[in-house]
Amino acid sequence: MRERTVCFAGELHNVTGARLTAESFLLDLIRASPPAAPEHWDDILLVVTELAANAVQYAPGPFELRLRRTFDGVHITMHDTSTTEPEPRPFHPSRGGGGIGWHLIHTLCDQVSVVVTDRGKDIHVFLPW
């Protein structure tokens, strides 16, 4: 399967559901096309987890995860209900951490873009496979 879309209610346990959805997508993908490097698998799962966690934490309501195979990688789209663009936050380990997710996404992805509409936003990321 070259594409998968799943909607979630936006609850904390949906972060795990999004990660499991990505893992299932990658298991199907690996049968037809193994990754060029083993770390691509982990990078995709980490990015999906971060995007889903941010959607639950910062956007009220449901979110939608779309995964699609491209000619050289995987395109992930996370739609949520917030019209606020993500911004990098400073990392403060003395306050329990946090603040590294958006930096991590930009580091691991080949491209990152945000499209805001009156119904929320779509975050598009492209990762190698």
* Lookup result for tokens 């930096």: 103
Q: How many domains does the chain have?
A: 1
Distance separating alpha carbons of residues 115 and 25, to the nearest angstrom: 24
Angle between helices 39-58 and 14-32 (to 10 degrees): 150
- Whether the model clears a pTM of 0.85, i.e. scores above it, the answer is yes
Which pLDDT tens digit goes with each residue over 43-62? 999 999 999 999 999 998 99
* Lookup result for tokens 């946090």: 98
| DSSP 8-state class, residue 63 | E
CATH number, domain containing residue 108: 3.30.565.10
Amino acid in position 69: R
pLDDT at 87: 85
